[in-house]
Amino acid sequence: MKKLIVPKGLDRRTVLKTGAALGATAVFSPPILTYAQGETPVKIGMHDPFTGTYAAEGESERRGALMALAEVNKKGGINGRKVELVTEDEGANAGIAAQKAHKLIEQDKVNFLMGAVSSATALSVNQVAHDKGVLYMVTGGHTDPVTGTQCHWTTFRICTTTYMLAAGLAGTLYKKFGGKWYFITPDYAFGHTLQGSYAKLLKGMGGTVLGNSLSPLGTTDYSSYLIKAQQSKPDVLVLLVDGQDLVNCMKQAAQFGLTKKFPIGGGLSELEVLRALPREAKLGWWTLEWYWDQPKTPHVKEWVAAYRKAYTDGSYPSARTWFGYAGLHAIALGANKAKSLESVKVAKALEGLELPPEVKLQPNKVYFRDFDHQLMSSEFPGEIIQDGKYPNVFKVADIVPGDKIALKDTGCKLDYPA
Amino acid sequence: MTRLISVGVMWIILILLPWWLPMIGGYTALGSKVLIYAIATMGLNLVLGFTGGLSFGQAAYFGLGAYGAGMTLKYLALSTPLAILIGTLVGGLAATILGPLVMRRRGIYFAMITIAIGQLFYFVMVRWNNVTGGEDGLAGFGRQDIHLGPAVIPISSSGDAFYYLVLLGFTVAVAIMWVILQSPLGHTWVAIRENRRRMEFLGIRVERYVWAAFAIAGFITAFAGTLNAMLFNFTSPQDLHWILSGNFVIMIILGGMRSFFGPLIGVIIFVVAQDYLSSVTGNWMTFIGMIFVCIVLLFPRGVLGIFNRRAEAI
């Protein structure tokens, strides 16, 4: 029983080998760049998922932030000091994100934080940033409480709220097709919230909800819901299901010929998602938060060209790229305006701050609201081009200014230190 | 004697952690997280390593403890001790009540039913949106300073003070588990692991002992969960998900599931490797996987198993 399984002597050797392997990992450490003598660089810490389901979105945000970083440093940095970006992978896990936020603040001694794709990570880092008194620029993460009931003075948000997503699309669909809508909603919390927002908006505009089918997560057969939807003869069929469920639902809707009878509407879509969707599911009316093809807006063409020059993998900048870009620029603009690196002063300077045309890259006025720190950026509702080849996958119907659709009363009470 | 010395050295290292960890490029919150996960995995190891039950749903009790503590602070009362107490009771009682469902199963069926129960709680937290915050997680609460007579321990503002609270919790949990494992109860668990049928023939009511192991492990993991909720003042359904349960099992196997402090070593390897490698490369999971494969192949009894085996050979 107690005889050694491994030959004697191997133990020590393997221990040595393991040690060597661990030493080798140190070689992977990121190179530390040196800057102007005497001046320590200003550090911005970015957490985002670079692995897992949201890796593509996280990578887009990082690319945008790096583009902004190069521009800011070219123009003299923040208060004359170089800016450095430290990125950390959190794999869209809220606990890891909070841990990495601690790491960035305590170990890397960053002056500001930015990042987030998933809402849960935005909320967990929101908490850490507030506890530590560090300004936090949320790039993604749409859930309303970030700039609503759980808002903090430390937190600002680039991407729009869940409510704004619904509102941006609802108005366009209502104007174009009419007010009798049928919903197919995934039967869980987020689905209910989104459907609730839609129903409220629709009734506010004078429309009616013809029906709402709740489908369990992982449904493969949508025929019963689709038949019910067809019988109600709606102006618009709104599908709020997601992922593989959406693909299944779209496929069956097309088989039933419903997609030819009335328009299909959805919620948020993203360029990264549209690129990966199978043809069957590339249908209907959705909203993006930024689109690369804006022929009439100044600076957009140059910016897309700069992106394509920097990243030659054939990709185009998405809304996420813009979030990262605008997020880092906003921090620099705020700190330069405040002439300080203190989070309180920078936060005050950011309130009401309007993004300049070369940063906002969209036609409407884009600014941070002073009472909830939400950026008033636009929604880009439009239709998916089914046979469009990437990157021509979306036809923008309207660019809706954020401050026209955002709720005024978000339940936010900013808690500045006394 | 050597055991006493090594445990003493370990404690001195842990007490001095807030001083030396930042010097070698760490941060105190990482130390707190390691100790919290160590409590959880050492609790789970009572079932996994000592009783021989493959529990794959332990994160459920961890998460229930976390939600119990978070919701106490958010909705009930601003008291850290009360939050710890309620969270531990919620998670522990859930394990105690569900124990009878689990105790008769063996092997793969034990693993299946524990994972199923774990996912049940996960979906409760995801769907009960109004109260738990759903997928976004539970936020909007904060750990509170502890008042001991006239003295105030400032755990709300100081990460170091909170670390010492965690270390105190770790010490208490370790002492309790050590006493239990030295008692007839602990010896019966090991005997069940080694030969369950013989124990049945001896007239031991094996199921009751498995139930006891499962319940005690539940209480200890839930206690760790309460501390975890207060570490970042946040908890999310990911703290109940089977992926975390699986990670707990991996940590235990890395460190050695036959040794008392094995899980602590496994947690240090896993958490530190994850923290360090994920900052350096996007392919950090590959390295974790490689470390795991190497350890399973070369040290089938985990890292601490090497030392135990050597002691046995001598």
pLDDT category, A7, cuts 50, 70, 90?
Answer: very low
pLDDT category, A28, cuts 50, 70, 90?
Answer: very low
Enumerate residue ranges in chain B where pLDDT < 70. Answer: 308-314
Work out whether the CA dihedral A406, A411, A412, A418 comes out positive or negative: positive
Q: At what angle do helices B59-71 and B206-232 cross, to 10 degrees?
A: 50
Best A3, A46, A51 residue to mutate vs chain B (most B CBs within 10 Å): A51
- Looking at residue A17, its pLDDT comes to 53
Facing residue for A6 by CB, picked from B280, B287, B298: B298
Contacts of A88 in chain B (CB under 8 A): 278-279
Q: Does B289 touch chain A (CB under 8 A)?
A: no
Chain A residue with CA closest to B306: the answer is A11
* Domain ranges in chain A with CATH number 3.40.50.2300: 42-160+294-378, 163-288
Residue B12 in domain: no
CA dist B100 and B90 (Å) reads: 17
Return the bridge partners of A43, or none: A84
CATH topology of domain A163-288: Rossmann fold (3.40.50)
Contacts of A25 in chain B (CB under 8 A): 276-277, 280, 287
Residue B20 in domain: no
| Side-chain half-sphere exposure of A327, counting CA atoms within 13 A | 36
SS (H, E, C) B71-105: HHHHHHCCCHHHHHHHHHHHHHHHHHHHHHHHHCC
Residue B181 in domain: yes
Window B:238-257, CB contacts with A under 8 Å: 238-239
Contacts of A93 in chain B (CB under 8 A): 238
**pLDDT digits over A50-96, tens only?**
988 788 889 999 999 999 999 999 999 999 999 999 999 998 889 99
Calculate what percentage of chain A has a pLDDT beyond 90. Answer: 59
CA dist A282 and A265 (Å) reads: 12
The pLDDT of A147-170, averaged and rounded, is 92
Q: Which helix (H) or strand (E) holds A15?
A: helix A10-27
- Looking at residue A348, its pLDDT comes to 95
Q: Are B138 and B64 in contact (CB under 8 A)?
A: no
Q: Do B280 and A11 touch (CB under 8 A)?
A: no
- Looking at residue A310, its pLDDT comes to 94
Peptide bond between residue A391 and the one before it cis (omega within 30 degrees of 0): yes
Q: What is the CA radius of gyration of chain B?
A: 19
Distance between A54 CA and the closest CA of chain B, angstroms: 13
Contacts of B235 in chain A (CB under 8 A): 95
Contacts of A99 in chain B (CB under 8 A): 29-30, 33, 232, 275
Contacts of B74 in chain A (CB under 8 A): none
Q: Does B296 touch chain A (CB under 8 A)?
A: no
- Looking at residue A20, its pLDDT comes to 53
Q: Do A95 and B232 touch (CB under 8 A)?
A: yes
Best B24, B166, B234 residue to mutate vs chain A (most A CBs within 10 Å): B234
Phi, psi of A415, rounded to the nearest 5 degrees:
-115, 60
Residue B296 in domain: no
| DSSP three-state, residue B255 | helix
Q: Are B69 and B230 in contact (CB under 8 A)?
A: yes
Write the DSSP string, B8-68.
HHHHHHHHTHHHHHHHTT--HHHHHHHHHHHHHHHHHHIIIIII------THHHHHHHHHH
**pLDDT digits over B156-176, tens only?**
888 889 999 999 999 999 999
Contacts of A91 in chain B (CB under 8 A): 278
Q: Is B280 exposed, middle or buried (0-12, 13-18, 19+ CB in 10 A)?
A: middle
pTM of structure: 0.85
Q: Please report the number of interchain residue pairs, chain A to chain B, with beta-carbon separation below 8 angstroms.
A: 123
Position with higher pLDDT, A224 vs B281:
A224
User: Position A159: which residue type?
Assistant: C
- Superfamily of A42-160+294-378 according to CATH: Response regulator (3.40.50.2300)
- Looking at residue A25, its pLDDT comes to 46
Residue A6, pLDDT above cutoff 50: no
Mean pLDDT score of chain A: 87
CA distances from B185 to B85, B174, B181, B188, B223 (A): 25, 16, 7, 5, 21
- Looking at residue A402, its pLDDT comes to 93
**pLDDT digits over A227-261, tens only?**
999 999 999 999 988 777 888 888 888 888 888 88
Contacts of B281 in chain A (CB under 8 A): 28
Q: Are B30 and A99 in contact (CB under 8 A)?
A: yes
Residue B263 in domain: no
Residue B136 in domain: yes
Q: Does B265 touch chain A (CB under 8 A)?
A: no
Q: Does B136 touch chain A (CB under 8 A)?
A: yes
Q: Does B309 touch chain A (CB under 8 A)?
A: yes
Residue B13 in domain: no
Which two three-digit tokens encode residue A156? Answer: 């600002």
Q: Does B137 touch chain A (CB under 8 A)?
A: yes
Looking at the 3D structure of chain B, how many domains does it have?
1
Domain of B134?
Answer: 27-242
Which two three-digit tokens encode residue B126? Answer: 């995801």
Mean pLDDT score of chain B: 89
Q: Does B148 touch chain A (CB under 8 A)?
A: no
Q: Does B233 touch chain A (CB under 8 A)?
A: yes
Residue B73 in domain: yes
Chain B residue with CA closest to A144: the answer is B136
Residue A29, pLDDT above cutoff 70: no
- Please report the ipTM that was assigned to this predicted complex: 0.86
The pLDDT of A11-29, averaged and rounded, is 48
Distance between A259 CA and the closest CA of chain B, angstroms: 31
Residue A2, pLDDT above cutoff 60: no
Per DSSP bridges, beta strands A380-384 and A394-396 are: antiparallel
